[in-house]
A = this chain, B = another copy of it.
Amino acid sequence: MPVPPPSAAADRCRTVTGKVLALLAAFGPDTPALTLSELARRAGLSVPTAHRRVSELVAWGALERGPDRRLRIGLRLWEVGSLAPRGLGLREAALPFLEDLYELTHENVQFAVRDGLEVVFVERIAGRHAVPVLTRVGGRFALHATGVGLALLAHAAPEVQEQVLAAPLPAYTSKTVTDPMVLRQMLADIRRDGYAVSDGQVTLDALSVAAPIFSADGTAIAAVSLVVRADGAQPAALALAIRGAARGIARALPTLRQPC
């Protein structure tokens, strides 16, 4: 079997903390359970070293051993992670509005934040009969393809936009916009209209309409979107509901930046 990541994290592995983090980072959506040997290899550690660190992590609850002796992320780590203000904190405020959107449309409702040059999905309500989407809670995507990503990018700092536009833009489908000039115009339109549309840029049959959520200081800290079947979709009509939800969420935001 091939080893997906050769050793991109070798630089950080000199310190003990780096090794612990490498162990945690070895897990992914596609590999939620690993044997000790696999884990050691992925983290770039010797087996005995991995064994020692893993023992401590298991004792604490950061990792769990299944009946098959394989290692998984533990409930305790999930618990701590759920204290992230940009994770559950935001989600908590947004959920009622996402519920409303779902109840109204029974389509996919998505909620995401920006981290670096990627969009991270914080919540996803998947309609059982709605169009299938690739996204996953906790998953990442390029900013320029998804609806939420475009909404966040359009209202991000100019430096961020330039970085994205300067880097090569990966294409997921034939309709993914990869031309920086076209993208630049799209971002301007998004700022003018107050919402973003991604038509078939992630999967050909899906269309996403997204709106940014602004915090009190005017920065776009999150975005909400509806993903519907591409044919026959009426973006402008959906945008009304989505922008309304976005405003509602903004109003319900906990004062994250309070100085105290």
**A→B interface (CB under 8 Å):** 12, 15-18, 20-21, 24-25, 27-29, 32-33, 53, 56-57, 59-62, 64-68, 72-89, 91-92, 95-96, 99, 102-103, 113, 115, 120, 125-126, 128, 137-138, 140, 256-257, 259-260
Whether the pair B125, A99 counts as a contact (CB closer than 8 A) is: yes
Whether the pair B80, A86 counts as a contact (CB closer than 8 A) is: no
A67 CB to nearest B CB, Å:
6
The answer to whether A25 and B80 touch (CB under 8 A), given A92-B137, A102-B99, A259-B66, is yes
A16 CB to nearest B CB, Å:
4
A135 CB to nearest B CB, Å:
12
- Most chain B beta carbons < 10 A, residue from A53, A61, A75: A75
Whether the pair A257, B68 counts as a contact (CB closer than 8 A) is: yes
Whether the pair A17, B81 counts as a contact (CB closer than 8 A) is: no
Q: Given contact pairs A32-B85, A78-B88, A103-B103, enumerate 9 new A-B contacts (beta carbons under 8 Å).
A: A20-B20, A64-B84, A66-B259, A75-B84, A75-B115, A78-B81, A81-B81, A82-B138, A99-B102
* Number of copies of this kind of chain in the complex: 2
- Most chain B beta carbons < 10 A, residue from A64, A79, A92, A138: A79
Select one of B12, B77, B87, B89 contacting A60, CB under 8 A.
Answer: B12
Whether the pair A83, B15 counts as a contact (CB closer than 8 A) is: no
Complex alpha-carbon distance, A79 and B73, angstroms: 11
Whether the pair A24, B82 counts as a contact (CB closer than 8 A) is: no
For A65, the chain B residues whose CB sits under 8 A away are: 259
A12 CB to nearest B CB, Å:
7
Whether the pair B80, A27 counts as a contact (CB closer than 8 A) is: yes
Whether the pair A75, B113 counts as a contact (CB closer than 8 A) is: yes
Q: List 22 A-B contacts (CB under 8 A).
A: A15-B56, A16-B20, A17-B57, A18-B60, A24-B80, A32-B89, A33-B85, A61-B115, A64-B84, A67-B259, A73-B81, A73-B83, A73-B84, A73-B85, A74-B84, A75-B115, A78-B81, A78-B87, A82-B137, A96-B126, A99-B99, A99-B102
